[in-house]
Structure 1
Amino acid sequence: MPNDFNQHVIDKFRANNGRVGGPFEGARLLLLTTTGARTGTPHTTPLGYLPDGGDRVLVIASAGGSPRHPHWFRNLLARPRATVESGAFTYEARAVVLEGEERDHAFARAVEADPGWAAYQEKAGRIIPVVALYDIAAGGPPNINADSPGEALKVVHDAFRRELALIRKEMSSGDGGTLGAQLRVNCLAFCQGLHNHHTGEDMAMFPFLADRHPEFAPALARLREEHERISVLVEDLRRAVSAADAEPATARTEVERLTAELEAHLAYEEQQLIPLFQAA
């Protein structure tokens, strides 16, 4: 069973689609449910994570700098499959412990973004493991933590809003002369997630709505046009953060341009689609 503090965080996380507040305000958190190595029972743990692009995120088995590996890590060694709750989505994941240079590179990115990880490493007296959690593709639509299509749309949009707000905060508080490696990854992961979301809408949701609600054609045409404009801004941000000599000022400019266009788009899409879903 989780301790009282962890259980409070878990309850708040699930009740607010990943928003916890307090000491975790603005933190990237997930809930990881592992299977007990000895008991075979499920155990849920709130953890900070690092975006890593593609189909995986990283979690670090620091245990607050304890000399012992945390229980969740030992569980994954015995059964390297877990359930991940991101706030917006719940999915099954395959756990892989990073080794050698790959682990060191990932941990260095984490330390660059938050020196607290280095303090944990020094205190622990052990090599703190880094674990990649790979999303196991299940087929069909994603499992969104919502009870209706309208709520699902808002939950996903709010997840994008929170991540973009975090990136903007990281851009403004970082070293003015350099663009940190983890911040680059955060931007690229956000761009990929947004691209995937809009592609899914263009290929599935919008044709479905167009077939059943032909009177909605003007709104769908506008939403598609906005997707095209946003895709250009996403590509501009990708280029800005991928360049070997990436300029923080340029990256910040591209983030602000994308933010302005995306916030207006999300608001319009909610205004148009949520009432439609509710009526259906």
Structure 2
Amino acid sequence: MPNPFNQQIIDEFRANHGRVGGPFEGARLLLLTTTGARTGAAHTTPVAYYPDGAEQVLVIASAGGAPRHPDWYRNLVADPRVKVEDGVFVYDAEAVVLEGAERDRLFARAVEAEPGWAEYQAKTERVIPVVALRAVPKDGPPTMAVRSPGEAVQVVHDAFRRELAAIRTEFGRNQGTTLGAQLRVNCLTLCQGLTLHHTGEDTALFPFVAGRDPSLAPALERLRREHEEIAVLLDSLRRAVSAEDADPAAVRSEVERLTAELEAHLTYEEEVLIPALEPASA
């Protein structure tokens, strides 16, 4: 069983699809379930993570600079097949412990984003591990802990809202004249996620909704046009972020522009789609 503090976070995380309050409000958290190296029992731990493109997320086994690796890390070394809950999706993943130059590069990127990691490393003689969690491909739709398709739309939208809020907070901390490497990755990962999400809606969700309620055709056409407009904003953000001498102020401006347009789009989409996707009341 997790300790009472962790259990409270786990319960709140699951009840609110990844949103928690208190000292971790606004933080990027996931629930990592490993198999006990000695007991073989499942153990779930809240862990901070960093985005790293569409294929993986990164977690750091700091244990606050303790002399021993955390239990979850020792477990995944013994059995790298783990379960991840990110507030939207639940999926099996392969945990890959990064080594050598790759580990050092990504740890340095994390330190640039949050200097506390360096403080933890200074407190211990062990090399703090960096672990990549890579989703295991599966057939069929992704697993979501939701009760209805309408709730799924809301949960996904809220996750994008949280990520944009986290990025805007990070810009508030980025006071230098250069764009932080992890902040750059966060922006690009967000762009990837939104592009994939809108492609899935255009090709699968919208045709499904149109088949259920043909009267929604004009609203769905508006949503498709808004996807095209948001795609232009995503391209502008990608170009601003990817510039060799990326100007943090210019990138932040693109993020703010995207946030305003996306929020209006998400709100309208929720008004249109959620009632159409909820089960009819008896």
Cα deviation, 1:111-156, whole Å, max 9, x if unaligned, reads 0011100010011211000000001121222212211111111010
Structure 1 residue identity aligned to 2:25? E
In the alignment, what sits opposite 1:263?
263
- Separation (CA, whole Å) in 1 of partners of 2:4 and 2:193: 34
- Separation (CA, whole Å) in 1 of partners of 2:227 and 2:271: 16
Q: Contact between 1:179 and 1:246, CA under 8 Å: does it hold in 2?
A: yes
Structure 2 residue identity aligned to 1:100? G
Structure 2 residue identity aligned to 1:277? L
TM-score by length of 2: 0.97
In the alignment, what sits opposite 2:28?
28
> Which secondary structure state, in structure 2, belongs to the residue aligned with residue 227 of structure 1?
helix
Structure 2 residue identity aligned to 1:205? L
CA offset at residue 22 of structure 1? 0.6
In the alignment, what sits opposite 2:120?
120
- Separation (CA, whole Å) in 1 of partners of 2:55 and 2:108: 21
- Map residues 112-261 of structure 1 onto 2, 5 A cutoff: 112-261=112-261
> Which secondary structure state, in structure 2, belongs to the residue aligned with residue 53 of structure 1?
coil
Cα deviation, 1:242-276, whole Å, max 9, x if unaligned, reads 11100011101110111111000000000001111
Q: Contact between 1:63 and 1:69, CA under 8 Å: does it hold in 2?
A: yes
Structure 1 residue identity aligned to 2:27? A
Q: Contact between 2:33 and 2:82, CA under 8 Å: does it hold in 1?
A: yes
CA offset at residue 77 of structure 1? 0.8
- Separation (CA, whole Å) in 2 of partners of 1:13 and 1:212: 33
Q: Contact between 1:145 and 1:155, CA under 8 Å: does it hold in 2?
A: no
CA offset at residue 88 of structure 1? 1.3
Structure 1 residue identity aligned to 2:203? M
Q: Runs of 5+ in structure 1 lacking a partner?
A: none
Q: Runs of 5+ in structure 2 lacking a partner?
A: none
2:68 aligned with 1:68? yes
Cα deviation, 1:29-57, whole Å, max 9, x if unaligned, reads 00000001111110000000010112100
Aligned residues: 280
- Separation (CA, whole Å) in 1 of partners of 2:185 and 2:139: 26
- Separation (CA, whole Å) in 1 of partners of 2:33 and 2:272: 36
- Separation (CA, whole Å) in 1 of partners of 2:182 and 2:269: 31
CA offset at residue 214 of structure 1? 1.6
Q: State the identity %.
A: 70
> Which secondary structure state, in structure 1, belongs to the residue aligned with residue 44 of structure 2?
strand
Q: Which moved more, 1:166-175 or 1:190-199?
A: 166-175
> Which secondary structure state, in structure 2, belongs to the residue aligned with residue 46 of structure 1?
strand
Q: Contact between 2:50 and 2:57, CA under 8 Å: does it hold in 1?
A: yes
Structure 1 residue identity aligned to 2:84? V
- Separation (CA, whole Å) in 1 of partners of 2:279 and 2:85: 29
- Map residues 47-62 of structure 1 onto 2, 5 A cutoff: 47-62=47-62
In the alignment, what sits opposite 1:100?
100
- Separation (CA, whole Å) in 2 of partners of 1:238 and 1:159: 20
TM-score by length of 1: 0.98
Q: Contact between 2:61 and 2:70, CA under 8 Å: does it hold in 1?
A: yes
- Separation (CA, whole Å) in 2 of partners of 1:196 and 1:123: 41
In the alignment, what sits opposite 2:17?
17
Structure 1 residue identity aligned to 2:171? M
Q: Give me the CA root mean square deviation.
A: 1.0
Cα deviation, 1:198-225, whole Å, max 9, x if unaligned, reads 1111111111122232211100100000
Q: Contact between 2:65 and 2:124, CA under 8 Å: does it hold in 1?
A: yes
